[in-house]
Amino acid sequence: MCNSKAILLKVHKWNCLSGRDEAWEIITSKGFAWSKRPLSSTMEKSWMLWTFVKRWLLALASWSWSLCRICLLPLIVTFHLYGGIILLILIFVSIAGILYKFQDVLLYFPEQPPSSRLYVPMPTGIPHENIFIKTKDGVLLNLILLRYTGDNAAYSPTIIYFHGNAGNIGHRLPNALLMLVNLKVNLILVDYRGYGKSEGEASEEGLYLDSEAVLDYVMTRSDLDKTKIFLFGRSLGGAVAIHLASENSHRISAIVVENTFLSIPYMASTLFSFFPMRYLPLWCYKNKFLSYRKISQCRMPSLFISGLSDQLIPPVMMKQLYELSPARTKRLAIFPDGTHNDTWQCQGYFTALEQFIKEVIKSHSPEEMAKTSSNVTII
């Protein structure tokens, strides 16, 4: 028997009968095999598991590379043929995404002029109330009620005043006080969420909830005539007023809108004429304010006030809203010198409002309600 030290080798053998690999230990001495035995079951299982993992990884890598080669070729061909179109589409989608994300910044300006969120001017020397109410979603809103105290004050109409997209209700006091004196009405000025002393952040749905909360509050006041509720909205406030009227025709006596728009998509295509905004689908717009649709639900008497010198909202939009209105009694008052924010300073402005309010109150009689009338007045 040889005294040389035995060498232990592990070899691999394919068993044709079992259809699997078999591992063996072969002990050799000076290159001659004289003994062999199978590996232990634990070692065999570990080796088989590792073999399976390697084969699976290699197959996965091979399949992935084949798939990449298959997909890459049509991508290269497509980009070569339509690269310019694809680039335009990507630019279009990118701009649409940016506009969607920053629409609130482009539409709502509660901090202009500066300190508008910190200081709200209050009326002096006239009866008024500084009111806070809560909306259905728990947002605290600030209102100012200006009271008319002259003759027959108990029967005076009440105007709910929705302002534009900047500043606060205090900045509208000069306009509101002239309404109070000239029209002999009560006025409720509304600061939307995110404006003035109101809480929250402005949004389309939020502004709709705010308007509903104000109307609900007015209906709880026993000292206000609930049969003479008028809505007034300027610019963005016009869209809010139209929405509220479309949802509450049984509670609203009449609506007055001034220098407002058809919708935000229409305004976007006007302001950004260098970019094909008109082709953006509606879902690209975070704020829509689709007044041109909602006006069809406003059948109460309606007054449309248009300043032809408006440099922000095209005056033609006011004319289109007037034409879309299904109201039996509707008026379009045109002021050639009226600008976007200062049409109320034009001569004859309060006369047009006064005549409309008197006509609406008179039309509450059954004989007058059956009549249909519309006219355009250039002042």
Active site residues: 235, 310, 340
Alpha carbon distance 234, 344 (integer Å): 10
Edge-first strand order for the sheet with 20-29 is: 7-15, 20-29, 32-38
Radius of gyration, CA atoms only, the chain: 38
Q: How far is CA 376 from CA 117, 120, 335, in A?
A: 39, 37, 11
Alpha carbon distance 288, 295 (integer Å): 14
All residues at 6 or more sequence positions from 62 whose CB lies less than 8 Å from its CB, including other chains: none
- Count helices and strands in the chain by DSSP H and E runs: 10, 12
Under 8 Å between Cβ of 260 and 236: yes
Which pair of structure tokens corresponds to residue 216? 């609900």
Alpha carbon distance 258, 264 (integer Å): 16
For 193, counting Cβ atoms within 10 Å of its Cβ (0-12 exposed, 13-18 middle, 19+ buried), the class is buried
Helix, strand, or coil here: 333?
A: strand
Residue 252's closest CA among 107, 345, 173, 364?
364
Alpha carbon distance 7, 36 (integer Å): 12
